[in-house]
Structure 1
Amino acid sequence: MSATSSDTMQQARERYAASLMNTFGPPKLQLVRGAGAHVWDADGNEYVDFLGGIAVNALGHAHPALVEAVTTQLSTLGHVSNFFTTEPQLALAEKLLELLGGGTPADGRVFFTNSGAEANEAAFKLTRRTGRTHVVATEGGFHGRTMGALALTSKEAYRAPFEPLPGEVTFVPYGDADALAAAVTDATAAILVEPIQGEAGVVVPPAGYLAAARAVADEHGALLWIDEVQTGMGRTGRWFASEGVRADIVTVAKGLGGGFPIGACIGLGEAGALLQPGNHGTTFGGNPVACAAGLAVIGTIEAEGLLERATVLGQKLRDGLTADPRVSEVRGEGLMIGLDLTAEAAAEVVAAGLRHGFVLNNTTPGRIRLVPPLVLTDDDADALLRAWPRILDDAYAAAGASDLEGS
């Protein structure tokens, strides 16, 4: 399953450079098909996909339930605009509220979008309807690249080229409940947190952090907005990683459509009524094909027991990965796994992973993130764990790092 350089890939990179904006840099591979947690490139090389479209492909690639749902809906009714509704839109909104309510529909309303950034844009606008403009967000958080979502994302390299950005936003250290309490005032519209930070490298907050955020929000009459774009829809072995904490706004996307673009901004309680006719809109959001995909994903996770599967297999991976002394820490829940290396060799690990037949992801110079499909098999996990020492051997050699550097 090792990757090889080829004229085909070189041609693809040249065509890419000549026709696509240079927002992502050159592509690593040209992928042509997938099945389950496996993908194949244009040269026929096979890889086990531990990136899953960045936590998107919850059911892996070409899952029959998703293919059937999308194909059937598209052949029946593909798009109608939001002057009308459809059964898939109604059913998915009801199902999301049921999942948030733990089996009993939560009191809330859903606004469907096409992505996580759009879900967060809708939520940002919703917070303005409180009559307040101040939002407290966290360092290391990531909420999207559109102007509003970017205003809520702390990374300087993302923000600086586009400032001034909308909003009055204060950033506080993630996981620090005292800093959060000090930053929130009676003029704060919302507190925005991820239950686990994804792009930062799968950072898990201290126990009780979300509950503390809820208490601070209540003290000052602010909304608690939980970004579950990456953590939601079974990724952590639960439908929502914030389970047990009452939110006013929940945003979801990524795994919700299993690869078909969809997101949702869910307002709970009184927050569900803050956006009224004329306040917001979307052409494609909530279209019947995307909603059919969402229903298929949820139904398959339930039918195949993928929440429990994510919990069990995630623990197996964390235990196996941390056994190598070049891994200084492993974090996460379910199939959302982050690990720290003893050297800044994360890019080299990703490159070595491809050579050994695995798609991995580096979030920082010393951190790796694994967010594979929820349909990952034991054989897939075992294959990575067997190859892991060799991947690190190659990566550390390429980086010129000693095995225990930084320890």
Structure 2
Amino acid sequence: MAHPRWRHMLDESKRHALKAVDEWNCSSGNFGDFLTHMHKAWHYLLHAEFKKDGVDYHYKESNGQYKIIDGEPKAWDLEWCVKQRYTNSADPVRLNLELFVALRNKVEHRYEHNLKIVAGGKAQALIMNYERERVDHFGSDYSLADVLRFPITLQSLTAEGQAEQREAAAKLPKATRDLVTRFEANMDESVKDDLRYDYRVRLVPIIGNKTDADLAVNFVNFDDLTDEERKTMTEAGRTGTVMTKLKHVEVANKAKLRATTVAERVEARLPFHFSAYGEHTEMWRRFNIRPAKGTSDPCITDARYCIYDEPVNTYLYTDAWVEKVIKEIGTVDKYRTFFGKEPRMKKVATLPQQAVSDGQTISKTA
């Protein structure tokens, strides 16, 4: 059976996206070619979306007739597609795309390497946004995650690499630096810090026990961190610290929580009861953060939320898991939606009548 036209557009978009990433990751890759291929990848992707959704993405004259180029209706260029897809002019994804459209028209061959280093975080966001757009609109079957890998790099892992980055930024021609400066001049700080506009990462060596399920690179979702963890990561990001030596002292399961402690901490912040062996069990199963008892490999856990303690044969949980539980079911409506039943509200005990008659109207939660 023949595929619909939007599917062919989507396949062409993928082809250009992969060529762009190859250009970026290759030691002899060309930044200008990266820009060109990502431009085309996004262009085909948005055209595929419009085609699938029945949106007419062709320019028209004032009389309503199509503008014709080489005998065919002229399709929207990428810049106009972006405006139609992201109607909010302050959208970080739109701003990221608009910056790269501008850079594509400005890049000079002799400064490509310098610009690649300086624009690294924004280029990473460009790829991440592209992947998210594909999956959100067409489904997980169209993800590129199975064919893209995190590249091996020395640039950001050594003091010499950091020095090269600073030197590259200083060598950029004034016209290019001014372009970025003007582009960001009136941009809200929250947008500049948004990972959809500029995706910067900090690589920290993982030391300690590992399992066969551990990956060489683990990405942590910023939204899944506790407030304290977010503060630490944000401050580390602003200082630009590079770790060149790390001393590791083993502390057995420091700050890890048993299921009963998780339930107590969650319940203390909710107006209803939360059971360690009822709601909590249901939640770790639904989010698949650990295997069920009796599994052949008990160590396969989501380390952000849970670890397996082999000596005592039990599972321990993190503060991040407490925060996620509260985020997911922290109100009556959320609880009802998640579990499909009414929560068991805490009883409110009033003071004896004598106390009330004395003017004390205080009540406490049981």
TM-score bucket of the superposed structures, by smaller chain: under 0.3
Higher helix share: 2
The structure with the larger Rg is 2
TM-score, normalised to structure 2, is 0.24
